[in-house]
Amino acid sequence: MATARERKGVSVVSNLLSGNIGNINKKTDNKDIETSNNIKKIKNEILNGYRFSFDIDNETEQFLKEQTFKLHSVNNKMNTELGKIFKETQDLLAKNRYGCFRAWFEELGFKKDSVYRYIGRYNLIVALGDSKKVEIVEALPIKLAYEISKEDCSIELRDKVLNGEIKTLQEFMEAKKLQISHIEEAVIIE
């Protein structure tokens, strides 16, 4: 049987743990809300790229917008799967030293640049590991996702995209030019 002192110690530890779990739940809920807001922003940016200027009622327009976003989402998930397939194939063929990876995907009708963009985007998704960030990457316009998955993309720019500070490819390219000009200025000053 536990002494009063041992029961009090267990009680203190229990209270600390339950308080920490409560804090973790609050932080998780806040991140879920933040991720949801980022995805809504991305969805709006994607839909703003389309002009539904045909003569339709509001309900039909909203339906078409939802369908457009669904197509976008399915396409992005397909690109992730393609990246996974190409990466797995590349890894297996490299390990066995067959040297036929490029010949294989070209036989299937894929171009080298496309395949390596799929692989780069997939590598980014794997590297992120965080399912919320993966959702954000998969919701991004595909060209923007390709840009942030390039090896020469700075972590700062990638984080700005993932945090929703940069939402379009145009904003990204402007920020990248600005960043490059700052780097060039720093090199000149040195």
CA distance linking residue 92 with residue 89, whole number of Å: 5
Give the span between the Cα atoms of 23 and 34, in whole angstroms. 16
pLDDT at 27: 46
Decide if pLDDT at 144 tops 70: yes
User: Which is more confidently placed, 91 or 21?
Assistant: 91
Judge whether 120 and 152 are in contact, CB under 8 Å: no
**pTM for this prediction:** 0.68
Residue (of 136, 187, 181) closest to 158 by Cα position: 136
